[in-house]
C-alpha cells in the first residue's frame, strides 16, 4: 500500500486525476471503476479539464460505478446515474452506453447483482478503481461487518451513512436505506486501486484502514491485501497516522529514484 500525503484536498484530487488519465493514455479502452459522493468531485473536474484541453479522450473507455440506491429511478435527481451524468459523463466524449451503474429496477436483487458481476468480468475486469472512504470505514456501500470476500449485492445502510448522505436529499424526499454495491471482493479484483480521503472527519477511518488490523469492522482495511493500492490523503485526513513522517519520507525517496 502506497501512502501519499499532500498539503491540500485540491492536490489530492489532481493526483488522482493524473493517475486515472495515465491509465487511459496507456490503454485507450480502459475499464474504470468510479465512485460518487463529495470526495471525487474535484477529481472529475480534473478529468474534464484534461478532456477539454485535448489531452484525454474517453471515447473507448468503459465505466462501472460502485453503487446505487435501491428504490430510485435513473431519472431521480438523487440517483447516482444522474450524479455521474451531471458531474462527469455529460462533459466528456464517452459513449453513454459504455457507462454502467448497478441499478436494480425490479425485485430480482440477486439476479441484478449477479449480472453486474458478470458484465464486469466480460469486459476484462476493472483496470483502475477510484474509491472514497466513509467516516465509518466503508468503501462503496460495504458497511462495517461486510464480508471481505463479498460480491455485488444489496446492503442495508447504517444510520451514520444515512445521516451523512441526508444533506443530498430535501426534507420531503424519500431517502433510501438500501443500496446495491460492488462487494469488497469485487473491488479487490481491480488491477489497480486509488483511494482518496480528505478532511479531519476521515482521520479515524484512515488510521484503521492503513495501520489497523484487517477486519470486517473496517471494510477499507481489506485494501491491505491488494498488491497495487495508492492511498492519497490531505494532511488532515492523515493526521492520526502513527507513521506519518515515514510515509512522507518514503514518497521523498520515491521521487529521488524516479
Choosing from 117, 127, 143, 234, which is the catalytic residue? Answer: 143
Q: What mean pLDDT is predicted for residues 162-182?
A: 82
Choosing from 65, 136, 142, 165, which is the catalytic residue? Answer: 136
Count of residues in the chain: 258
Q: Is 11 known to be catalytic?
A: no
User: Cell numbers at residue 142, please?
Assistant: 460495504
pLDDT at 221 over 80: yes
Three-state secondary structure call for residue 79: coil
CA distance 57 to 46: 13
Q: What mean pLDDT is predicted for residues 161-188?
A: 85
Choosing from 67, 68, 103, 117, which is the catalytic residue? Answer: 67
pLDDT at 171 over 80: no
pLDDT, mean over the chain: 95
pLDDT at 170 over 80: no
pLDDT at 51 over 90: yes
CA distance 244 to 4: 10
CA distance 38 to 41: 6
Tens of pLDDT, residues 25-46 = 999 999 999 999 999 999 999 9
Tens of pLDDT, residues 100-133 = 999 988 889 999 999 999 999 999 999 999 999 9
Name the residue ranges covered by the structural domains of the chain: 2-257
Three-state secondary structure call for residue 117: helix
Whether residue 247 contacts residue 1, with contact meaning beta carbons closer than 8 Å, is answered with no
Q: Which pLDDT does position 105 carry in this prediction?
A: 86
Q: Which pLDDT does position 159 carry in this prediction?
A: 86
Three-state secondary structure call for residue 119: helix
Give buried/exposed letters for 147-163 (b at 16+ CB in 10 A, else e): ebebbbbbbebbeebee
Q: What mean pLDDT is predicted for residues 146-171?
A: 87
User: Could you please report the per-residue DSSP string of 1-55?
Assistant: -EEEEESSHHHHHHHHHHHHHHHHHH-TT-EEEE--SSTTHHHHHHHHHHHHTTS
Q: Which pLDDT does position 169 carry in this prediction?
A: 79
Statement: the pTM of the whole predicted model exceeds 0.85: yes
Per-residue CA distances from 64 to 27, 33, 70, 256 (Å): 16, 5, 17, 36
pLDDT at 258 over 90: no
What is the CA 90 to chain-centroid distance, rounded?
Answer: 19
Choosing from 68, 117, 127, 138, which is the catalytic residue? Answer: 138
Q: Where residue 177 falls among pLDDT bands split at 50, 70, 90? A: confident
**CATH (one of 3.40.50.300, 3.40.50.150, 3.40.50.1360, 3.40.50.970) for 2-257:** 3.40.50.1360
Q: Which pLDDT does position 166 carry in this prediction?
A: 80
Q: Is 143 known to be catalytic?
A: yes
Whether residue 68 contacts residue 180, with contact meaning beta carbons closer than 8 Å, is answered with yes
Q: Is 204 known to be catalytic?
A: no
Closest CA to 178 of 165, 195, 196: 165
CA distance 250 to 97: 42
Amino acid at each position: 500500500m502506497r501512502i501519499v500525503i499532500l498539503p491540500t484536498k485540491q492536490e489530492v484530487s489532481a493526483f488522482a486525476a493524473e493517475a486515472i488519465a495515465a491509465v487511459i493514455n496507456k490503454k485507450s479502452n480502459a475499464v474504470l471503476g468510479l465512485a460518487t459522493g463529495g470526495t471525487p468531485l474535484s477529481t472529475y473536474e480534473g478529468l474534464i479539464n484534461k478532456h477539454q484541453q485535448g489531452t484525454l479522450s474517453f471515447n473507448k473507455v468503459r465505466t462501472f460505478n460502485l453503487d446505487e440506491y435501491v428504490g430510485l429511478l435513473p431519472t431521480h435527481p438523487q440517483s447516482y446515474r444522474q450524479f455521474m451524468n451531471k458531474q462527469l459523463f455529460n462533459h466528456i466524449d464517452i459513449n453513454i452506453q459504455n457507462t454502467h451503474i448497478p441499478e436494480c429496477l425490479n425485485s430480482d436483487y440477486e439476479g441484478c447483482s449477479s449480472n453486474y458481476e458478470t458484465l464486469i468480468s466480460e469486459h476484462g475486469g476493472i483496470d483502475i478503481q477510484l474509491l472514497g472512504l466513509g467516516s465509518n470505514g466503508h468503501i462503496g456501500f460495504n458497511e462495517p461487518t461486510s464480508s471481505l470476500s463479498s460480491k455485488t449485492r444489496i446492503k442495508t445502510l447504517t444510520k451514520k451513512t444515512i445521516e451523512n448522505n441526508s444533506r443530498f436529499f430535501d426534507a420531503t424526499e424519500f431517502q433510501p436505506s438500501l443500496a446495491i454495491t460492488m462487494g469488497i471482493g469485487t473491488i479487490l479484483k481491480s488491477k489497480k486501486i486509488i483511494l482518496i480521503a480528505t478532511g479531519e472527519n476521515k482521520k479515524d477511518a484512515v488510521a484503521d484502514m492503513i495501520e489497523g488490523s484487517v477486519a470486517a469492522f473496517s471494510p477499507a482495511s481489506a485494501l491491505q491485501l491488494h498488491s497495487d493500492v495508492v492511498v492519497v490523503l490531505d494532511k488532515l485526513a492523515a493526521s492520526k497516522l502513527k507513521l506519518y513522517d515515514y510515509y512522507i519520507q518514503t514518497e521523498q525517496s520515491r521521487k529521488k529514484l524516479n
